[in-house]
Amino acid sequence: MKPTPTVAIIGATFWGNRGAEAMLATTIGSLRKRLPGCQFKVFSYYPVHDRQLVQAKDIEILPASPKALVLKIFLPSLVYGSLARLGLPVPVRLFPRAVCALQHSDVLLDLGGITFVDGREKYLPFNILTLLPAMILGVPVVKLSQAMGPFKHRLNRMAARWILARCAHVFARGSITAEHLSTLRLPQEGWSRAADVAFAYRPEYSLTEENEAAVGDMLALLDKYRQSGWTVIGLGPSEVMDARAARAGRDHVGEIVEALRRLGEAQPGRRFVVLPNATRQDTPATHNNDLPLIGRLRERAAHELPPDLIERIGWIDFDLNTRSIRALVSRCDVLVTSRFHAMVAGLALRVPTFVVGWSHKYLEVLAEFGVERNNLAVEAWVDTLPALVDEQLSGRTSSPALDVVERVVRSSESQFEEVERRLA
């Protein structure tokens, strides 16, 4: 093993999607333990904000927005790689810092949560460009656990097979993704299954501090509720689900308000906390940002719900990191969410979790815990949720077993064993 191996990471950011932050912090924290002195090059969609949040000396933040991928990484990598293959001198000083950092890395880890999926062909250029420069430069690529497929659409199938066959290793996040990957006929030793990276998250891996006082106030309030014998229900909406509902002609905000009404009227002792899993505070942009949705939801609730119910709802409308999200989820008796990594947090903390999802990526993880029934149909979730919550809170169903959680965590950590092995 090199005295100080260098690990490049792409497909995740600290700011914005906090599921990505969970994966990124977990990857860095786990490899720091396994590879003392390791240096990290994080290729970020939001490099400016990520540099403001993370000041660690062993982490360098480099640009990887779509524009930067093309102009600062892919095209220069083509030139760099061509010169190297021809045996010509490479004028390193003339190349962008991002290319040089990538070329000197020992491995590139891809943390893209979901890639190469039929129907999402518009993301194929991004899926390809995040990995192709490393391949051009001869840097091994490992795709850490993520959802992929199906691969029935010709363009997606061709792109996926071409790229995935050139990866050093690919981790499928669950049985459905594994089934999809098997149709590509990749080399058997080139891929395997592993649980999502974020299942191996630990609070000490956190690399940011964001609105700690405000989070502390909410935690104190939730602790007071629980000490008083009240039930706490967490609700994690998603701007992705809201946008998909709008395209289908559904009023998702109205659905959430109605769900709050039914859950709240069923038992006056229930308290609620509405929390995001993607935050970009002080911007109206909705990409990787649930805060505008929560703002609209809060405004709608104020007009449509009775005052006594509104008083029982706590709202998180600011930036917060994975450590804070997990602390809040741990105070919940039930979690209802449309965010994948909010689901992961609930399952990891053994909090009964119900999901309103849009992809097989939710179902294959719930299946690991034997709670597929908690994956609610998007068209009827408001009608089915209250009875399921009542059943859960009455004790007729149980939380995920501790041994199951431990098995899933070990599966997640196996990915870092593979990375360590490759750097040995």
Amino acid at 184: L
Instruction: Please give the average per-residue pLDDT across 232-245, as a whole number.
Output: 96
Amino acid at 66: P
pLDDT in tens, 26-43: 999 999 999 999 999 999
- For residues 80 and 101, is the Cβ–Cβ distance under 8 A? no
Contacts of 342 (CB under 8 A, 6+ apart): 19, 236, 275, 277, 325, 329, 335
Mean pLDDT of the chain: 95
Q: What domains can be seen in the chain, in order of their start residue?
A: 6-202+408-423 (3.40.50.2000), 210-401 (3.40.50.2000)
User: Kind and range of the H or E element at 241?
Assistant: helix 239-247
pLDDT in tens, 118-177: 999 999 999 999 999 999 999 999 999 999 999 999 999 999 999 999 999 999 999 999
The token pair that represents 101 in the structure block: 């950092």
2 pLDDT exceeds 70? no
Helices (H), 165-238: 175-182, 212-227
Q: Exposed, middle or buried, 230 (CB in 10 Å: 0-12/13-18/19+)?
A: middle
How far, in whole angstroms, is CA 59 from its chain's centroid?
20
- For residues 146 and 113, is the Cβ–Cβ distance under 8 A? yes
pLDDT in tens, 43-83: 999 999 999 999 999 999 999 999 999 999 999 999 999 99
Handedness of CA 131, 169, 339, 331 (dihedral sign): negative
